[in-house]
Amino acid sequence: MEVVRVDYLVIGSGVAGLRAAIGLASEGSVYVITKDELKESSTEYAQGGIAVALSDEDTIGIHFEDTIKAGDGLCDEDAVRVLVNEGPERIMELISWGAEFDRSGTKLAFTMEAAHSRRRILHAQGDSTGREIERVLINKARNMPVIRKYSFAYVLDLIIIDGLCYGAYVLKDGQVEAILAQATVLATGGAGQVYLRTTNPAVATGDGIAAAFRAGAVIEDMEFVQFHPTSLFAPLAPQFLLSEALRGEGAILRNIHKEEFIRNYHPEGELAARDIVSRAIVSEMQRTKSRHVYLDITHLDADYIKKRFPRIYRTCLKYDIDITTELIPVCPAAHYLMGGVKTDTAGRTSIPGLFAAGEVACTGVHGANRLASNSLLEGLVFGARAAAEAVNSRISPMEVSPSDLTLPLSGDRIEDADEIRQAIRKAMWENAGIIRSSKSLSTALETINKWDHVLDKTYSTRYDNEIKNMLQTSYLIVTSALKRQESVGAHYRNDSPPEPHIP
């Protein structure tokens, strides 16, 4: 096994990973490990924008209150204060690095999204905010020679010796390498691929959470999975996210009969919190015996729609849907995991030497339900914080010898791998999705446990290890959901007292 020594290891290349790498670059050599292309992450696909209290009508205090309210009483208030207080500085930093957010004249342009009480959502190129932030961070990192990217490198497991994290075992070109580091920052994103319908990219298979769990890290709040209410539902089309900003700009939800329905479920209508809107859509689909509902933005000016949502307009047009004149078929999809590897506000996990930031981490900032567009901000703020703390708390891997490093690979392949992967995703979607119960969750767990033997090996292919991690992550979601017997935030159980706004 080849052994590579580096000062700092960052696993993941989304907004949190790149911001952490940039923060570490002044302190030593940095490896950024990513299992696909450098830019392939949920950041790349984030459309709506990034929330920050910078407009004249907004304050940090109001952003704080909106976040707390969305989190349904379970937010860590210290983490939320960090987010909203340091957010403006991180955004101005991005602008100084060349980020081009949309403007109205000379001023930054802000829009509204669900559950926000002010227009505080910055966007870029209308609906390509994540792509713009990724562009800026990648360019910044490329100008730092100490940052080395390691693309198409799959992290198999963390290196844990005597309770300390010394880096990770990586599979690259069919060979295992041990990368030793003074500090390791986990920024692998979420786990949307465990669900049949998801807006997440194919790389979001829960790898970081599963690896941290196997290493003994504390995992928290896995039952809180946020489903985006509106993803494109069309034959042969990808489950493309249709930004919350569409509803913020006035888009109307209609059922299969073209009737408005959302206010029958909640007085805030289309601008109610995501979990409420998602459940309302599912309830309406069940009532009308349909597989989707519609999103209608045809009452807005066509030129404005094309300018404000160019990416959405072009993507839908590829599938013969002109959103300026036609209703858009939509259905909810798994979108964001509020739980993950437990950290403090400095990014420290329960394992010395291991830090986490972004969607893979659980800082408590989102509570039971993430406020729209707080995720990119979280990646920036806590990516920077994790880097700072990694420098302060680094450990020395020099005493680790090659004899300490063992990770036997199984030459076996998972039998019926494709079928197992599909069965996991189907079981999670049908039984551990938007509306749950003890019975449905137990059914999901029974399905997952059928293949627990898969967890016993480390495989020589990325695909097989991804299935292993999907099983592990699904198990954590389902068992956490079974333990939390009350409905709260994104975790809704129809066998507990229902929330008043849902019939």
Q: Give catalytic residue positions.
A: 274
**33 phi and psi angles, rounded to 5 deg:** -95, 130
Q: Which residue has the tokens 């989190």?
A: 71
Strands 164-172 and 175-186: antiparallel
| Integer angstrom CA distances of residue 340 from 30, 176, 318 | 24, 26, 36
Contacts from 134-138 at CB under 8 Å and sequence distance 24+? 134/14, 134/15, 134/18, 134/39, 134/41, 134/43, 134/44, 136/94, 136/97, 136/98, 136/99, 137/15, 137/18, 137/19, 137/22, 137/97, 138/18, 138/38, 138/39
Alpha-carbon distance of 91 to 93, in angstroms, equals 5
Helix, strand, coil tally for the chain in percent (to 5): 40, 20, 40
Q: How far apart are the first and last CA of the chain?
A: 59
CA distance 295 to 251: 6
439 burial type by CB count under 10 A (0-12 exposed, 13-18 middle, 19+ buried): exposed
Cβ neighbours, 10 Å, residue 5: 15
Paired strand residues for 5: 180
Q: How far apart are CA 112 and CA 116, in angstroms?
A: 7
DSSP-based three-state secondary structure for 319: coil
CB-based burial label for 388 (10 Å; 0-12, 13-18, 19+): middle
Q: How far is CA 232 from CA 149, 237, 316, 447, in A?
A: 33, 7, 8, 28
- Residue 380 DSSP symbol: H
